[in-house]
Structures are given as C-alpha cells and as structure tokens.
Amino acid sequence: MICPSCGHKNIQGDDFCANCNEDLAALDGISSPKTEIGRSLLQDPIQKLSPKKPVVVAGNLTLAEGIEKMNQSKIGCLLVMDGDKLQGIITERDILFKVLGQKKLTSPISEVMTTTPDTLEEDDSIAYALNKMSVRGYRHIPILKEGKASGIISIRDILRYISGHL
C-alpha cells in the first residue's frame, strides 16, 4: 500500500503509514487481516522473536578473522561497531559477492561491510520486519533498543515464528 501523502510503501492492512503516520484505514482495498497469523504478524513486536545477541567486531578486523568468527559462532553476519555506534554489517553474502576473487582475506572488514545498515526497533511489528526484508532483499536486520544495537533477527526467526502459528 503506497501512502498517498508521502509515497512510502507500507504493508497491506496497516492502519497508519510507517513513515508519516497518515491514516490509511479509510483507503479502498484495505481490510484487517482475517487470519490469526495475519493479525499476529501485524500486531506482535519483534521482541516476540527473541532477537539473538549480535556478534560484534571492529572494522579493522581482517576478513579472514571475520569469516573464522562467523564459522565459530555458526552465524551468517557480524555487526561492525565503533564503541556503541553501529558502523555496518557484514554478511555471508557480502563475502561471497564482494570478497571472493576481488579482495584479499587480509583486507579489513570495513572495506566490504554494508555501511549504515537499515535497522529496526524492538517494538516494530514482525510484519514490518518481514516487509523490509522482502523489499530490500535482506536476510538479517540489526535491532536497536534506545539507539544501541541490542540484537539481530534473520528471516529464519520469522519463519520459525510463522510455523509456530500453523
């Protein structure tokens, strides 16, 4: 659903625009979700997914060290931090598409990471997270609490949540 006021792409069924808070409920074609899972996705916050504590690294860590950290932790991404400030995210896809054959494994992660990644807040809806992941092609999104990285969710977390409702 495109907001007529600001042009922001919202999730079908949202009552208000996520960008400008414009009332969308009165627009033609909008109806409340008719299933329990639909209502849950729109109403339940990301907190219900129990976001995992992120594995954080400094930007000067080498790619080889970052890959080893991912393998040891059995995860698909690392958050790159400078103190409390989120600098970027590096994912297994970044390594596949940006590193192999193009960068040396001794290069710092900061040369490959996605800078200023999109983030979500703990109280954002699961449907909003799913929509952002779908529209932007993300598999992982950092979660902030009071402006600081507090967790990370993956598409697998959302799929587990959905399968628990089936």
Q: How large is the average pLDDT for residues 76-95?
A: 94
Confidence of residue 115 (pLDDT cuts 50, 70, 90): very high
| E strand or H helix at 92 | helix 92-94
pTM, two decimals, is 0.78
Q: What one-character DSSP code corresponds to residue 99?
A: I
**Phi/psi-derived region of residue 154, left when phi > 0, alpha when psi is between -120 and 50, beta in every other case:** beta
Q: Which SS3 state, helix, strand or coil, does residue 82 take?
A: strand
d(CA 26, CA 160): 33
Label residue 18 by pLDDT band (50, 70, 90): confident
Mean pLDDT of the chain: 89
* pLDDT tens sequence across 31-68: 566 788 888 888 899 999 999 999 999 999 999 999 99
Report pLDDT for 12. Answer: 72
Which amino acid, one-letter code, is at 97? F
How far is the C-alpha of 42 from the C-alpha of 59, rounded, in Å? 36
3-state SS, residue 77: strand
pLDDT at position 30 = 47
Q: How far apart are the C-alpha atoms of 152 and 103, rounded to whole Å? A: 27
